[in-house]
Amino acid sequence: MALPKEVSTVLFAAWLQENYPDVYAQLAQQVGAGPTQHLNGFTDFLRTAGSAIANTAKTVVSGLSSGVKAVGGYLASSNGMETLSALAQTYSAVNQATLATQYARAQAGEAPATIETRYDPATGQYVPIYAPNAGSGYLVNQNVLSKLSPGFFQKYLWWIVGGVGVLAVILILRKR
């Protein structure tokens, strides 16, 4: 079940706040959102909520700060998308692709995937890790992201259903 876009983008903003706090801070500044509490453990929440997230997402969003909600609303707009894209340019290709995938999920009405950033002492950088289960994780690569990206049907489900509905009404009316 797809989430309403305003819910999925707020969940995406909360995920950003935890995993890319500098990007979140710049987006919050863009919309004039004041300081907000930091959401430690939001990715853990996504992991434990699993498929039940559709049932609890509205409750979770209602408990988030007004700053997170403002950033989520901004991310639902074309200006928010452009700003996020510009901010992502400072990151590595895999981080850019991760942000793009999470954004696409939000636009498709999906909750963020359980991707978290972890410090890699070998490179001295934070890297995205897909962690579907607590204590495990896989380094994010294009293969992982393609599996997490919303497919054509997921992206356009409501348009397809609406089109079929309109076509059915037209056919019914023509038979009269």
Q: Rounded to a whole number, what is the distance in angstroms from the first to the last CA of the chain?
A: 35
CB half-sphere exposure, 147, CA atoms < 13 A: 8
Cα 92 to Cα 4: distance, rounded to the nearest angstrom: 30
In the chain, where are the structural domains located?
A: 5-149
In the block, tokens 């998308």 appear at 81
User: What pLDDT sits at residue 138?
Assistant: 86
Give φ, ψ of 116 to 5 degrees: -130, 160
Tokens representing 127? Answer: 């890297």
In the block, tokens 């954004």 appear at 103
User: What pLDDT sits at residue 102?
Assistant: 92
User: What pLDDT sits at residue 60?
Assistant: 57
Give the angle 136-2-24 at the CA atoms, nearest 5°. 60
Other CB atoms within a 10 A radius of the CB of residue 77 amount to 12
Q: What is the pLDDT along the chain (176 residues), one digit of tens a residue?
A: 577 777 888 888 888 888 888 888 888 888 876 655 555 555 555 655 554 555 555 555 555 667 777 888 888 888 888 888 888 888 888 889 999 999 998 888 888 898 998 888 988 888 999 988 877 788 999 899 989 888 755 555 555 666 666 776 777 777 76
* E strand map for the chain: 115-120, 125-130, 138-139
